[in-house]
Amino acid sequence: MAKTLRRLGLLGAAAVAGMALFAGTGVISVTPTAGPKPIVGGEVADIKQTPWLGYYSDTNGKFTGCGVSLVTPTKAITAAHCVRASSVTFGRQKGLTGSGGTTVKIAKSWKHPKYSAPGSGTGYDFAVLTLETPVTGYAPVTVVEKSDTGLYPEGTPATVYGWGHQKSGGTNSDDLRKVTVPIISDANCAKSYTSGLHPATEVCAGLAEGGKDSCQNDSGGPLIVGGKLIGVVSWGKGCAGANAPGVYGELISALDDIKAQL
């Protein structure tokens, strides 16, 4: 019941038309017109708007979990915890049933040397992939610069993209999805995560009431502010819960190390 009521609040007035209230029986049942979606609480995104966006795939280009962002024709940024010998695919809208795009093998994966497992460890969940062949025809995304501290203040709307889970314990999305969530300050995020958070190299984003978030298999994917890549999906407690924001690798905090790999 508590869950039902929380959802009611989240969906707001726009969804009232889709709700049936059985007050007589004391049961409130909700038929949402819009419920949690892959990349929780978001919408389908068009890969043509983010041509630099890709994902770990098999050699046929099928999504196998984790997003990647092309930052030069031969380099992509992702999360260190995503790294495995594999291929990546760019320019494909439907990760499970789609075709087309460009699939390339990963020649080399650099994980930040200070990285260890997200959610405990040390933060630094950053990786740079070197691609076996240059990916042409997909304009790379601009990586945040040292002077871009103004992209991180609390409340800044940040957009995250991925083919990951629809909800905690859900399944992957066929279509690329996106959701926009406000940045949360280190001080406020530390109230949600009393352990495991590494504010020096991590930035949080989400709504206090939950409902919008990245989720499993969105990892490594981009957090975008002002058209620039400012973070990579790293971890969170469940997905989209109240006071449990998404935690992202904060690219600006390790820029020298990362740029040295590009």
Q: Which positions are annotated as active-site residues?
A: 81, 125, 219
Taking the complex as a whole, the smallest distance from the CB of residue 235 to ligand ARG amounts, in Å, to: 5
**Binding segment toward ligand ARG, per CB under 6 A, in 23-31, 126-134, 136-144, 230-238:** 230-238
Interaction between residue 235 and ligand ARG (CB under 6 A)? yes
Choice from 36, 218, 251, 258 touching ligand ARG (CB under 6 A): 218
Interaction between residue 246 and ligand ARG (CB under 6 A)? yes
Of 85, 121, 212, which Cα lies nearest the Cα of 159? Answer: 212
Angle at 42 between CA 249 and CA 27, to 5 degrees: 120
Say if residue 44 is exposed, middle or buried (CB neighbours under 10 Å; 0-12, 13-18, 19+).
middle
Taking the complex as a whole, the smallest distance from the CB of residue 28 to ligand ARG amounts, in Å, to: 27
Place of tokens 């066929």: 174
Choice from 47, 77, 184, 215 touching ligand ARG (CB under 6 A): 215
Size, binding site for ligand ARG by CB under 6 A:
13
Q: Which structure tokens are listed for 262?
A: 């590009």
Taking the complex as a whole, the smallest distance from the CB of residue 31 to ligand ARG amounts, in Å, to: 26
**Binding segment toward ligand ARG, per CB under 6 A, in 30-38, 54-62, 147-155, 207-215:** 207-215
Interaction between residue 93 and ligand ARG (CB under 6 A)? no
What b/e string do you get for 197-206 counting C-beta neighbours within 10 Å, with b at 16 or more?
bbbebbbbbb
Choice between 50 and 214, CB closer to ligand ARG: 214
Pairing of strands 228-235, 142-143: parallel
Choice between 18 and 58, CB closer to ligand ARG: 58
Q: Collapsing DSSP states into helix, strand and coil, what is residue 2?
A: helix
Of 229, 201, 205, 52, which Cα lies nearest the Cα of 131? Answer: 52
Interaction between residue 233 and ligand ARG (CB under 6 A)? yes
DSSP state of 10: H
Interaction between residue 232 and ligand ARG (CB under 6 A)? no
Interaction between residue 175 and ligand ARG (CB under 6 A)? no
Q: Which residues contact 7 (CB under 8 A, 6 or more apart)?
A: 30, 32, 35
Choice from 216, 222, 231, 253 touching ligand ARG (CB under 6 A): 216
Chain residues that interact with ligand ARG, rule: CB under 6 A: 164, 213-219, 233, 235-236, 239, 246
